């Protein structure tokens, strides 16, 4: 159970759509390659080793939160390590990103893909959560996360990144039994994984459906919705869940059907229109284009102001980017954005 200070934090109050004096802000990929402090740690180890070292993962999580002054920390980890105990051979190849060396392409391949109920092989994640929670300020929540079933299935089937999701859609449309087996095993594993993060000390969790944008609303509703909804419905009702599916604003109404206390908006939809699509009875998160952080400061300030003006101090807005901070972003602009959101939103709230 979160302490009173955590319950009254700006972030958790916004998740519950309660009025706040200042709009909370945190940023996806706030610990990342744009930050010299992160690179000083990252250069010591491989990316996968960094994810599996609780001491280092906790360090970069805490450092980013402190430097930026954001209103929540997000666990430093990755979407894909959960695929290893399920039977896949994962490697982060230099310059190529994640590679699955034994992807799932046929119903026979599905037989070696197993749901994980014993989370001990992922203890490094939960140990990181415990370390971060111990050292975070008492009023700063910690966000855990996982990939959504569709996004993880796509990695598992494609073997890595993809432009057209040829193998994924071929299995999804062509072999209903194999598709259900993959998605069901992922769903059951993710329920256990997110519950364990919450038990270890996370006050909220986010589901990233980073690749769902390749789907039509019909295909999402037919082949994906029930699996993500099962995860959301299985988690504690008093722990806010942020549901973030990027790449296709047409999915927002069906994302609402799937569930989530907070719905993430990417930059491909105007903020107020996106909130209307998911419903005013939901909190929303977003949605500045990450590329705008490469612009001059007056442009960044103008666009952040536009989003805050559209939010109009309605309860339930968490400021964030429309996706993660990009490598090469100037950290000083990120810090300035955080300060501006705090200062300008406080002025707006005080004037009402």
| Catalytic position from the list 33, 105, 226, 268 | 33
| Catalytically annotated residue among 38, 71, 131, 155 | 155
- For residue range 108-167, list pLDDT tens digits in order: 999 999 999 999 999 999 999 999 999 999 999 999 999 999 999 999 999 998 999 999
Q: What element of type H or E holds 317?
A: strand 317-321
> Which domains are seen in the chain, by residue range?
26-280 (3.20.20.210)
Tell me 323's DSSP state. Answer: S
Assess whether pLDDT exceeds 90 at residue 93. no
> Is 165 among the catalytic positions?
no
Annotated catalytic residue, options 17, 42, 131, 282: 42
d(CA 127, CA 200): 8
Tens of pLDDT, residues 45-91: 999 999 999 999 999 999 999 999 999 999 999 999 999 999 999 99
Task: For 259-268, write each residue's pLDDT tens digit.
Answer: 999 999 999 9
Clarify whether 42 is annotated catalytic: yes
Q: What token pair was written down for 99?
A: 């590679």
92 is catalytic: no
**Catalytic annotation on 209?**
no
- Residue pair 249/267 in contact (Cβ under 8 Å)? The answer is no
Residues 306-319 have pLDDT tens digits of: 999 999 999 999 99
Identify whether 78 is a catalytic site residue.
Answer: yes
Catalytic residue among 78, 109, 219, 266: 78
Residue 1 has pLDDT above 70, yes or no: no
Cβ 11 vs Cβ 69: under 8 Å = no
Query: Would you say 308 and 345 are in contact if contact means Cβ atoms under 8 Å apart?
Result: yes
DSSP state of 316: S
CB 73 within 8 A of CB 141: yes
């Amino acid at each position: 159970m979160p302490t009173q200070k955590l319950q009254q934090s700006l972030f958790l109050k916004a998740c519950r759509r309660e009025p706040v004096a200042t709009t909370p802000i945190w940023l996806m990929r706030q610990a990342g390659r744009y930050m010299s402090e992160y690179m000083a740690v990252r250069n010591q180890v491989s990316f996968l080793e960094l994810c599996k070292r609780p001491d280092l993962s906790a360090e970069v999580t805490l450092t980013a939160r402190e430097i930026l002054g954001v209103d929540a920390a997000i666990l430093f980890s990755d979407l894909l390590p959960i695929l290893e105990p399920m039977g896949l051979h994962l490697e982060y190849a230099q310059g190529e990103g994640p590679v699955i060396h034994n992807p799932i392409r046929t119903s026979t391949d599905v037989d070696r893909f197993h749901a994980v109920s014993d989370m001990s092989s992922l203890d490094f994640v939960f140990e990181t959560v415990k370390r971060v929670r111990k050292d975070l300020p008492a009023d700063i929540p910690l966000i855990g996360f996982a990939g959504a079933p569709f996004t993880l299935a796509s990695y598992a089937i494609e073997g890595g990144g993809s432009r057209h999701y040829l193998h994924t859609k071929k299995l999804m449309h062509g072999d209903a039994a194999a598709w259900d087996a993959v998605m069901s095993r992922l769903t059951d594993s993710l329920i256990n994984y997110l519950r364990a993060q919450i038990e270890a000390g996370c006050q909220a969790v986010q589901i990233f459906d980073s690749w769902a944008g390749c789907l039509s609303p019909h295909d999402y509703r037919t082949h994906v919705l029930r699996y993500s909804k099962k995860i959301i419905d299985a988690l504690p009702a008093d722990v806010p869940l942020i549901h973030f599916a990027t790449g296709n604003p047409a999915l927002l109404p069906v994302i609402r059907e799937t569930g989530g206390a907070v719905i993430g908006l990417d930059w491909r939809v105007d903020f107020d229109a996106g909130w209307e699509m998911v419903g005013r009875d939901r909190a929303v998160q977003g949605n500045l284009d990450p590329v705008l952080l490469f612009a001059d400061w007056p442009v960044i300030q103008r666009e952040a102001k536009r989003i805050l003006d559209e939010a109009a101090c309605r309860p339930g807005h968490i400021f964030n980017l429309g996706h993660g901070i990009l490598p090469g972003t100037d950290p000083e602009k990120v810090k300035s954005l955080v300060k501006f959101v705090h200062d300008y939103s406080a002025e707006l709230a005080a004037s009402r």
